[in-house]
Amino acid sequence: MRKLSAALLLYIIPAFTQQIGQNAAPGAAGPATFQTNTQLVIETVEVKDKAGSPVEGLSAGDFTVTEDGAPQTIRFFEFQKLPAIDDTTPPDRQNHQPNPFNKYPQSQISAEQPGNVRYRDRRLLALYFDMSAMPAADQLRAFTAAQKFIQSQMTPQDLMAVLMFAEGSVRVLQDFTDDRDRLERIIDTLIVGEDENAGDLTNDDSTADTGAAFGQDDSEFNIFNTDRQLSALQTAAHMLGRLNEKKALVYFASGLKLNGTNNQAQLQATVNAAIRAGVSLWPIDARGLVAQAPLGDATKGSPGGIGMYTGTSALAVTGNFERSQDTLYALAADTGGKALLDYNDLSRGIVQAQKSFSSYYVLGYYTSNSALNGKFRRIKIALNNGSAAGLEYRQGYFAGKEFSKFTAVDKERQLEDALMLGDPITELTIAMEIDYFQLNRAEYFVPVMVKIPGRELALAKRGGAEHTLLDFIGEIKDEYGTTIQNLRDKVDVKLSGATAAELAKAPVEWASGYTLLPATYRIKLLVRDAETGRIGTYESKFVIPNLNKEEKRIPISSVVLSSQRVDLRDALYNASAKDKDRPETANPLVQDGQKLIPSVTRVFSKARDMYVYLQAYEPSAAATQPLVAFVTFYRGQAKAFETPPLPVSEGLNNRLKTVPLKFSLSLTNLSTGEYNCQVTVLDPAGQKAAFWQAPVMLVP
């Protein structure tokens, strides 16, 4: 399966559909608008005496809080009382036998409700399994450690959540709960699978010589994978940030090695997100205590070269292992946690996180600095009574940023984070159409059309911009959750002159195409207006049928309804130079230098002709057989319009005996309203037929 053509064209389509709302005329009077920004800052403070015991009985008046030297008024104050671990004995669990679920459950981290004391005086521990960073054996060790803790070391004061990063997204398998039975069943459902990073993906003196000449550097993939792992941790921190209490995230992974300075920006963003969310990271190296041969065990090939004899290869192996642990150590040290390295009892890492909780105070204030500049703000908390008690709290945080102050790294990270979110962002309106056309016995060409209302992009023009950048990011996954295709594109749209005038009343379409095998897929696409920062999400399931198994009816492709053909030279944006040399013959929507633009919304104007295009296939025929096709419009049960039967005797000279079917319909005699459009294809010789039907809307 390969990507055939992506980001091919971007058009402005003349508008004939009704606009939802309208832009106010310049100078028009309107209601006054007042805006204000407030930011609640939450601090968890541990106050301990000289003996290390928590100090209780303090009030908000006993604390002084400053931010960059400016005094802050405490608006929220709460005390969380947690008993020592030794004070509570877990209940007997010897006769428990868990019953596994049939599939992964879906959940989310529930935000706190006013007056709800669900999290009061409780320890919040989140188990996070990075399935992309652990081979099968390490996953088993991690799951066993989690089961051991739940069965024999979890106390009644503990609330635990279970999160997993796999297949490119962070999934909450269980919200915070003290139900041991449910937690054990969740762990039992974590099926061990092969991970994408389990192999040796370095490219240095320790890399095995596989004999592959001129292979692509694996480090290129490592940079992206490491960023995704760190970005997933950042997403998990944001999820936990919905709660004001102190949280500990226990991170199971088989190391995490940075690739030079390429991942430093994402590492810093992850640490900042954890600090802002009040989450301490407790990484656990699931490899445990490792004793490895200097050049690797029998599962690894010989690296070859003189490095085998000078010790360079052995040093590279050791260096790679240590660097993978250094990242875990840095994540823990920068967020207030502690990494468990080179220890076989992995449950000890969870116990360390558990014992890090002691009674603490929760302070909240609305910062007096409303600037969203992304700068670091230093916090200082002190006791008013001059007590010598020790205070433990975060020393500051990075302020939020307005989109206009985002760096290129910030913008890329925002898209990746949004792609992994379970909840869609719907600031931009997106419509999408996915079609399919059979290329050969195995593959299908899948054109993807995205429509964005131009009036939403016109907001950037009203802000004074001469152009706006559309960012596209997405992925196609199969029914098992495996990513089949990735999508990333940038399109620069001019907003000056006639183009800007058309944007206010016309939609914009973006086209892409892929080759896929018959299966059930799910596509998720995000579009961002880089001038305003607004994001839209489209997610849908689609099916590519196996037309080779169609015996009773005529195999046909998707039916494309359109009201416009556009010359490829008239596109606002064309593919890059490397794509211009790619033949477009595989795309049936491109013929004679013109591209058929699917309507997507299936709303048509009576003033424009409707184009209908589809393909029929006769793979079992010795030669192309004549077909007859016609188009019918129904209004309710009554037939409103029907074209004369169109006999087609010519087809493509290929193994599928492809027969293109084209119609051009005048809609002037039809009244406006809703119709059902039906396409009928008949094979007189084979006595077969095919039918397709979809609703359409006619407007003046």
Q: For residues 127 and 269, state if they share a domain.
A: yes
Q: For residues 480 and 504, state if they share a domain.
A: yes
Q: For residues 304 and 370, state if they share a domain.
A: no
Contact of 141 with 286, CB cutoff 8 Å: yes
Q: For residues 468 and 503, state if they share a domain.
A: yes
Mean model confidence pLDDT for the chain = 78
d(CA 60, CA 58): 7
Q: Which domain holds residue 59?
A: 40-81+363-398
Contact of 346 with 141, CB cutoff 8 Å: yes
Q: For residues 331 and 447, state if they share a domain.
A: no
186, 180, 35: which is closest to 103 by C-alpha? Answer: 186
Q: For residues 146 and 226, state if they share a domain.
A: yes
220, 219, 221, 253: which is closest to 236 by C-alpha? Answer: 253
pLDDT bucket at 387, cuts 50 / 70 / 90: confident
DSSP helix/strand/coil, 273: helix
Helices 264-276/312-335 angle, 10° precision: 30
Has residue 630 been placed in a domain? no
Q: How far is CA 416 from CA 196, 464, 487, 498, 536, in A?
A: 18, 28, 12, 34, 13
Residue type, 305: G
DSSP helix/strand/coil, 271: helix
Share of the chain above pLDDT 90, in %: 27
Q: For residues 155 and 269, state if they share a domain.
A: yes
Has residue 303 been placed in a domain? yes
Instruction: Give the CATH number of the domain where residue 299 resides.
Output: 3.40.50.410
**Which of 555, 577, 593 is the last residue in one of the domains?**
555
Has residue 407 been placed in a domain? yes
pLDDT at 73: 92
pLDDT digits (tens, 9 = 90+) for 601-649: 888 988 889 999 999 998 888 788 889 999 999 988 899 999 999 999 8
Q: For residues 229 and 274, state if they share a domain.
A: yes
453-483 residues labelled b (16+ CB within 10 A) or e (exposed): bbbbbbbbbeeebeebebbbbbbbbbeeeee
User: What's the average model confidence in pLDDT over 520-532?
Assistant: 87
The position carrying tokens 């809307």 is 697
pLDDT digits (tens, 9 = 90+) for 252-308: 999 888 876 667 777 888 888 888 888 999 999 999 888 776 766 666 666 666 766
Given CA atoms 349, 266, 199, 520 in this order, what sign does their dihedral have?
positive
Helix (H) or strand (E) holding 674: strand 673-683
Contact of 160 with 185, CB cutoff 8 Å: no
Q: For residues 272 and 138, state if they share a domain.
A: yes
Has residue 313 been placed in a domain? yes
Has residue 588 been placed in a domain? no
Q: For residues 201 and 72, state if they share a domain.
A: no
Question: How many domains does one find in the chain?
Answer: 3
Has residue 277 been placed in a domain? yes
Given CA atoms 94, 100, 104, 109 in this order, what sign does their dihedral have?
negative
Helix (H) or strand (E) holding 309: helix 307-310
Has residue 650 been placed in a domain? no
Q: For residues 296 and 320, state if they share a domain.
A: yes
pLDDT at 410: 75
Contact of 609 with 585, CB cutoff 8 Å: no
DSSP helix/strand/coil, 479: coil
**Which of 346, 380, 411 is the last residue in one of the domains?**
346
pLDDT digits (tens, 9 = 90+) for 16-42: 333 322 233 334 444 444 444 567 888
Give, in degrees to the nearest 5, the angle at Cα 51 between 46 and 52.
25
Contact of 270 with 332, CB cutoff 8 Å: no
End-to-end C-alpha distance for the chain, whole angstroms: 43
Q: Cβ of 667: how many Cβ atoms within 10 Å? A: 20
Instruction: Give the CATH number of the domain where residue 544 resides.
Output: 2.60.40.3880
Q: For residues 5 and 126, state if they share a domain.
A: no
Between the ranges 6-10, 43-47, 426-430, 456-460, where is the mean pLDDT highest?
A: 43-47
Give, in degrees to the nearest 5, the angle at Cα 607 between 606 and 611.
75
Contact of 246 with 357, CB cutoff 8 Å: yes
pLDDT at 422 over 90: no
HSE (side-chain half, CA atoms, 13 Å) at 493: 31
Has residue 142 been placed in a domain? yes
**Which of 278, 311, 346 is the last residue in one of the domains?**
346
Residue type, 210: T
